[in-house]
Structure 1
Amino acid sequence: MAYQFMGFVFLLSLLIAMASLSHAKDCLEVGQSINDGERLISAGEIFELGFFSPGSSKNRYVGIWYHSFSTDTVLWVANRDAPVADASGRLAIGSDGNLVVLQDGCTIVWSSNVSLKSNQSTVQLLDTGNLVLNNSGDVAWQSFDNPTDTYLPGMKVGLDLDTNVNQVFRSWKSKDDPGVGSYSMGMDPKRSTQIFVWEGTKPRWRSGRWNGQVFIGIQNMVPTYIYGFKLSNLEDEQKMYYYFTVSNNSQRWVLTWDGIEEHTIWKGDTKFWHSDWAQPSTACELYNRCGSYGSCTDENTSTCSCLKGYVPAVEDEWNRSNWTRGCVRRTRLQCERNSSDGGSVEADGFWKMERVKLPDLSDWYSDIGDEDGCRATCSMNCSCKAYAFVGGIGCLVWGVDLVDIHVFSSDGNDMYLRLAGSELETETKTSGHVIAILVSALVLAFGCIYLAWKCKKRLRVFIIRRRGQRILPVNPNRDEDLIEGAEDQQCQELPSISFESITASTSGFSNENLIGEGGFGPVYKGTLPGGQEVAVKRLSRGSGQGHTEFKNELILIARLQHRNLVRLLGCCIHGEEKILVYEYMPNRSLNTFLFDPQKKGLLDWKTRYNIIEGIARGLLYLHRDSRLRIIHRDLKAANILLDKDMNPKISDFGMARIFGSDDNESNTKRVVGTYGYMSPEYAMQGIFSIKSDVYSFGVLLLEIVSGRKNSIFTHQESSVSLLGYAWRLWNADNVMEFVDPAIRDSCSQKQASTCVNVGLLCVQNHANDRPSMSSVIIMLESGTDANSQPRQPTFTAERSPHDTESSPYDLRLLSANNSITLVTGR
């Protein structure tokens, strides 16, 4: 029995030892240490601490990195300026209770170096990535208070308003040396709520002031609900903090060794850190690139120029290329002149500059509540150079030289520059001359157009003969102005496919090959002589709408190339035949699966999520990244085609519009689109913008998640629309009830919650409350809910159950049964 008992004890001890080895420790106590090659791993196995050598370096450092992914991404370094020369390093709790890094077992090369109540300390690596030193029950030191180059969710890094002690991030010396480098980042005690990057002591970049949602000097910065980035002014503690509120660890900010502040997001599918945002990335983003009273504009290249009413300080070529001296005022202000100067002097005024990254070193007047008061304050002070009234901040006034001005292509703020009256008068006279010239030019142009119209047939014959082309018959009953010129020219830029080949490929446009029909006309499946399957879109001779669609398709989609847009392969103009040839999508359109009870099960959750992300990327390309800036205006399930691998491709650009880079919104008297997908401002007022597409995307996203069509869905018990139903379940924290029952069991609850959250944000009633597509992609790819609670959508598009979806409509032709109703929330 004794032997059996001893065997049992031995086995039990072995099991305990094996269990302790299988669960790596996350803390150190007095008398414990880890040697080079050993690790501390946080309880949730998210972060890891140990010794490492960066790049080609042989030196050893103690650092923290991700345990579960990207183990080569070091987030914090202890002994960054005191490396251990070999593998003899050890991390331990010293005799005084401080955390120390030892070399050769006894020489201290680094210490947390804080005053402690006792020598009884413990060190723990948390799942936030924070390394905490506890002493006598209190946090005595933590790595989050002593950052290196990386800013993680949960960090509160900022400024002590009493002592002006500033926590800053400091770059590595190089990619192979984590020692303190040349660049630092933090808040400037003299510049209030701005983040700066410094090169040594010289400003390199600044964020602009915080307005409660974004830093106004960062172009296209998304609101706080995307990143969870906030500013907290803790007046009771006399501290000011910036911090993340994002709940996961898939995001980080890092100050790179070459002085770039970069925001990166971990993409689990590619196992790669995706760079979402970085500054400074252009010359204009470098601090005061163009000197005092100079502005920088990013076009094809960064360009400096003097502000209106100012001229270069030194008129030589060297200065014009370097702009080190900036600019000086051309005409003195009235308030600067003596009465002995004589002559009548016009009163000073203000010149409005738009889309400006406001200058540095402003004074803030918290007691001025409107723009008129701000203007009066500046007018009464002769030293005031400019003013701006900014939402979320208030009145800003500049009494010093205007420095670091960047004119954005979008976003930015209005600034009112103080000028002598004569400078403003010159502009008025110049504008008058320009207007007169433009009016004369327009009169001349209209005269030429009228003459061309009178002689259009002769001109057409002449042009075609000059091109060596045969003359196409003209049908006087057609609006040939729509299908001549632009179409002929654009079609020449595409591969030309003969009408005979197209006819043969579709078996003479037989009904057996008919795969769809819309406002443009019928669509046929065809097989070209080389065996390639194509979709042939034929302009219907009885469709007046089709002419406009044909023109749009040629002008727009021929210039677009993206994996989530359907590809135009060629075209054919043969007499009155107008034909477009596209790549063939074997799985047809999304609605053939999504709303079919027998087929919807083929769209599992992973496929639906990939479709949602693909549509979002295609829209982002249209709105921001394509050669043209395009608003689709008819995004719906029927216009999302699926290739053989179920990858989505946006199609049907017949109603799309090119948007100018400086436009925010536009207006139309003819509203086109599809019931259930149109935004309130477009349906009711004819106002459209990229946020109109965002609204349509939100509806489509909710349809994909739920498997229900918005335009015909009405909840039986509550009689709410699909959008109202989504919001009700979201508000009740019951998102899974909204998910299509066909895939509910296999659905990721976290991803479904993210999708419904994003969809509801996209269908907010006011366009400004909707996120941009870049923000949508960030939320979808990071898999996190937005921190902003969506408001209840009150707009619904009602329709008769007998209506079809294929017909774009004109509001002037709507009957009572086809009305659009604005429902007011209770």
Structure 2
Amino acid sequence: MDVPPLVLLLCLHTLLLLLHHTRCKTLNTISQTIPLHDGDVLLSENKNFALGLFSPGNSTRRFIGTWYNKSFDHPSDTLIPFMKLGRDPRTGMDWVLTSWRSEDDPGSGNFTFRFDFMGYPQLFLYKNGAPHWRVGPWMGLRWSGVPQKISNSIVDISFENDQKEFSILYGLRNTSTIPRMVVKSSGMIQRFIWHARDSQWNELGTAPAFECDYYKACGPNSYCNTYNADQFNCTCLPGFEPQSLADWLLRDFSGGCIRSRGSSTCLSREGFVKVALVKVPDTSRAYVSMSMSLKECERECLKNCSCTAYAGADERQGGTGCLAWYDDLLDIRTFSNTGQDLYVRVDASTLGTDELIYT
């Protein structure tokens, strides 16, 4: 019998068996005459801990897993309702997802899905510890890097952000529809929903799905656009130009963009140009204030010559709160019909005299 290094969460496995009407027994002892079968669980005396066996994928091996039967502190590769993603700063507990080693081996794989708490917290998919896909910060209705809004008719969203805990949790509004998300061993994240009327899981989507999804697909101070086949995927932000035009023409965008030569954005009648429908830049070095209005955010950004851009922190109620950046703008992409408005600092000549915001 193989015991993987990862302490496995088998509650989802049990849930799937229940949904498929497979018999599942809860035991408090096992013996030669009362064996433990796949799908059965052995509970501790206080019912806090459970143990079970299973054979994943096409594997002929049987694995044993133990889990905490009640708070989901080690969610393995799958997120289902009432599990948390985040951190308890008092204990240092991280709630993260970790891919399996392969479809047939539930040992720890190469991909983890977790929050980065530098600057303004945001979700990342990491590959061997390096950023692979940045989901971005929570914007009130959805993640900045995911176009689809979370349906309030399916889940309740609980978002905690205080000294005790930073976490997000999805609850159920209707038990006839159950969402789940899996971090695959290939590095893809798949989202499913269970419809009781169909008695099956239906796939909702997979990410990362496009070239622009991958972290820093374009270099600093540029954005990625997959919707215009006639242009390069990468475009410099307003007021910027390629750091190396030769590399840019060869479609090497890693060097990104720099301020246009001769421009001045420090108390020289500069202002802002709106770049619409984007995933906001990497917020690991961003400043956030939820008490500011967007107009106040603009004024504060203008006062500081190091401020390169700003955006609303919460897209509800027409946009509230303030996100401001003071360095290069990284990992921006556009969407076709949704996203945040990003306001990029430019000099007066780029802005145009009839559109000046600076006073």
| TM-score where L is the length of structure 1 | 0.35
Shift of the alpha carbon at 1:279?
A: 1.9
Question: Which of the pair is proportionally richer in helix?
Answer: 1
Deviations for 1:702-730, whole angstroms, at most 9, x for unmatched residues? xxxxxxxxxxxxxxxxxxxxxxxxxxxxx
- How much identity, in percent, do the aligned residues show? 31
Please name the residue that 1:274 is paired with: 202
Please name the residue that 2:274 is paired with: 352
Given that 2:289 and 2:323 are in contact with CA atoms closer than 8 Å, whether structure 1 keeps it comes out as: yes
Aligned pair 1:251/2:186, yes or no? no
Query: Structure 2 residue aligned with 1:379, among 302, 307, 316?
Result: 302
Residue type at the aligned position of 1:355: L
1:417–1:318 CA distance, 2 compared to 1 (3 A): closer
1:318–1:402 CA distance, 2 compared to 1 (3 A): closer
Whichever of the two has the greater Rg, that structure is: 1
Aligned pair 1:411/2:338, yes or no? yes
Distance in 2, Cα, partners of 1:263 & 1:315: 40
1:33–1:405 CA distance, 2 compared to 1 (3 A): farther
Given that 2:85 and 2:167 are in contact with CA atoms closer than 8 Å, whether structure 1 keeps it comes out as: yes
Deviations for 1:637-675, whole angstroms, at most 9, x for unmatched residues? xxxxxxxxxxxxxxxxxxxxxxxxxxxxxxxxxxxxxxx
Aligned pair 1:151/2:79, yes or no? yes
Distance in 1, Cα, partners of 2:330 & 2:122: 15
Distance in 2, Cα, partners of 1:373 & 1:401: 22
Query: Structure 1 residue aligned with 2:166, among 226, 235, 240?
Result: 240
Distance in 2, Cα, partners of 1:174 & 1:383: 46
Structure 1 unaligned blocks of 5 or more:
1-22, 63-77, 79-98, 100-111, 113-130, 133-138, 338-345, 429-826
C-alpha RMSD over aligned residues: 3.2
Please name the residue that 1:313 is paired with: 243
Distance in 1, Cα, partners of 2:208 & 2:302: 35
Distance in 2, Cα, partners of 1:202 & 1:157: 19
Given that 2:247 and 2:253 are in contact with CA atoms closer than 8 Å, whether structure 1 keeps it comes out as: no
Please name the residue that 1:651 is paired with: none
Residue type at the aligned position of 2:279: K
Aligned pair 1:389/2:312, yes or no? yes
Shift of the alpha carbon at 1:156?
A: 2.7
1:24–1:283 CA distance, 2 compared to 1 (3 A): closer
Shift of the alpha carbon at 1:194?
A: 2.2
Deviations for 1:745-777, whole angstroms, at most 9, x for unmatched residues? xxxxxxxxxxxxxxxxxxxxxxxxxxxxxxxxx
1:300–1:331 CA distance, 2 compared to 1 (3 A): closer
Please name the residue that 2:287 is paired with: 363
Distance in 1, Cα, partners of 2:310 & 2:348: 17
Deviations for 1:608-652, whole angstroms, at most 9, x for unmatched residues? xxxxxxxxxxxxxxxxxxxxxxxxxxxxxxxxxxxxxxxxxxxxx
Structure 2 unaligned blocks of 5 or more:
1-22, 44-49
Aligned to 2:298, the other structure's residue is in SS state helix
Given that 2:77 and 2:98 are in contact with CA atoms closer than 8 Å, whether structure 1 keeps it comes out as: yes
Aligned to 1:321, the other structure's residue is in SS state coil
Please name the residue that 1:736 is paired with: none
Query: Structure 1 residue aligned with 2:144, among 216, 230, 233?
Result: 216
Given that 1:182 and 1:199 are in contact with CA atoms closer than 8 Å, whether structure 2 keeps it comes out as: yes
Please name the residue that 1:641 is paired with: none
1:212–1:191 CA distance, 2 compared to 1 (3 A): same
Aligned pair 1:327/2:253, yes or no? no
Shift of the alpha carbon at 1:318?
A: 7.0
Please name the residue that 1:402 is paired with: 329
Deviations for 1:528-578, whole angstroms, at most 9, x for unmatched residues? xxxxxxxxxxxxxxxxxxxxxxxxxxxxxxxxxxxxxxxxxxxxxxxxxxx
Distance in 2, Cα, partners of 1:147 & 1:32: 31
Shift of the alpha carbon at 1:184?
A: 0.4
Question: Which of the pair is proportionally richer in strand?
Answer: 2
Residue type at the aligned position of 2:216: N
Structure with the larger RCO, 1 or 2 (CA within 8 Å, 6+ apart): 2
Residue type at the aligned position of 1:196: F
Distance in 2, Cα, partners of 1:179 & 1:427: 61
Aligned pair 1:284/2:228, yes or no? no
Please name the residue that 1:421 is paired with: 348
1:163–1:427 CA distance, 2 compared to 1 (3 A): farther
1:148–1:319 CA distance, 2 compared to 1 (3 A): farther
1:27–1:191 CA distance, 2 compared to 1 (3 A): farther
1:226–1:25 CA distance, 2 compared to 1 (3 A): closer
Distance in 2, Cα, partners of 1:30 & 1:160: 36
Distance in 2, Cα, partners of 1:214 & 1:186: 16
Distance in 2, Cα, partners of 1:29 & 1:316: 71
Alignment length, in residue pairs? 317
Distance in 1, Cα, partners of 2:34 & 2:99: 27
